[in-house]
Structure 1
Amino acid sequence: MLIVTAGLPTAGKSSVAEGLGRALSAAAEAARRQWRTLADRHRAPVAFTEVVCSDSRVHRQRLERRSRGIVGWEEPTWEAVQERRATYEPWTDHRLVLNRPKARLRT
């Protein structure tokens, strides 16, 4: 989901973004519940995975080297990732956690 917030400096964009971040975190949990419900309805197993990079130096390096070349799309900054990390709600579901600190960067 892409949410674009615009306005003059000090209009309150950051406050709105923080509120949206909290709402989206709640929405993520709601989405997981929906996936579970859908799987139950179809009697299908559901598996959650979470991908993490435990080495912040590697994580930052990947981010700063990444360019997907999508017209009109700005790659997130390290500062944006850090802000998201501060509000990221850790999953408590049973899940497979994939730690990818040594995965190679594609160039």
Structure 2
Amino acid sequence: MLYIFGGLPATGKTELARFLSSMFGAVHIRVDTIEQTLKNSGVSDLYDEGYKVAYALALENLKNGIPVIADSTNPVAASREAWLNVARTAESSYIEIEVICSDQKIHRERVEKRLSDIPNLILPSWESVTSRKYQQWQSACIVLDTSGKTPEQSKQELNRLIVAHNEKKDGSL
């Protein structure tokens, strides 16, 4: 199974991705980590190289029967379609999960107060987050709003939504 996360920075994606990774014994592939490692190695002009590495790692693990959690902003339809192509190539099931924070005040506070857990990663400012290109996600199977929830509540809700999604999918076969 490929779990495809997406959403603006500081919505809770990585916290939820780590939770699922632990819960399912899945590989957690985080594009931020890949991109910062490339930068730390001297690659200065990144476009989609981090995503390309992530797609390759995900495909390899899925082909080996290992579930994968894809953790990235995933801001445009092209990157989302590329993840779907990874799942199709691996002949794997997938779930698209968009994480949002609908309360702008809470979201801004998260952006401004969070700390990086990746060495040398410079986190985006609120202005950067709100001005970035983020296309509406039409195909997300699950949309989880973390606004007003503790991380634990969001994890419990994600678990319930995945179970409900899988039950619905199994019932429609």
- Which residue number corresponds to residue 16 of structure 2? none
Q: Which runs of 5+ in 1 are unaligned?
A: 6-15, 17-23
Residues 19-98 of structure 1 aligned to structure 2 (within 5 Å): 25-38=76-89, 41=91, 44-84=92-132, 87-98=133-144
Distance 1:34 1:64 in 2: 35
Distance 1:67 1:94, change over 3 A: closer
Larger Rg: 1
1:101 equivalent in alignment to 2:158: no
Following TM superposition, the consecutive aligned residue runs of length 4 or more in structure 1 with deviations greater than 3 angstroms are 1-5
Q: Normalising to structure 1: TM-score of the pair?
A: 0.61
> Conserved in 1, the CA contact under 8 Å of 2:98 and 2:140?
no
Under a length normalisation based on structure 2, what TM-score does the superposition of the two structures give? 0.40
| Superposed displacement of residue 47, structure 1 | 1.1
Deviation readout 1:53-84 (Å, 9 max, x if unpaired): 00010000011110124332111100110112
Aligned CA distance change for structure 1 residues 31 and 62 (closer, same or farther; 3 Å): same
**Identity over aligned pairs, percent:** 29
Aligned residues of 1:48 and 1:94 also touching (Cα < 8 A): yes
Q: C-alpha distance in 1, partners of 2:83/2:119?
A: 31
Structure 2: gaps spanning 5 or more residues: 1-30, 48-74, 152-173
Aligned length in residues: 83
